[in-house]
Amino acid sequence: MDITEKIDLIQRPPTEEIVTQDELIELFKTNSSPKHYIGLEISGFLHLGSLISTGFKINDFVKAGVK
C-alpha cells in the first residue's frame, strides 16, 4: 500500500483531527509502522455505536500499517 492510500484510510470519517497532511506523509516516509493514539472523551453513557465506530477506525490504522 502506498503512502497516499495509507493517508486516505487514516483520514476517513470519523477522524476529526490529525497532524497536518505534510507531517503525516513525512511520518510514513521515515517510519513504516508508526504508533497511534485514540483519545476518547466520554461525556455520557457509552453505547455500542461508540465501540463499533472506534473499532472501524482502529481497523483503518491496522490496514495502513500503524501500530
pLDDT band for position 30 (50/70/90)? Answer: very high
**Which structural domain range is residue 49 located in?**
3-63
Ordered alpha helix ranges (H), 1-67: 3-11, 21-30, 48-63
pTM across the whole model: 0.76
Distance of alpha carbon 1 from alpha carbon 10, whole angstroms: 13
22 vs 46, higher pLDDT: 22
pLDDT band for position 25 (50/70/90)? Answer: very high
- Nine-digit cell string for 60: 483503518
Within 10 angstroms of residue 52's Cβ, the number of other Cβ atoms is 10
Domain count, the chain: 1
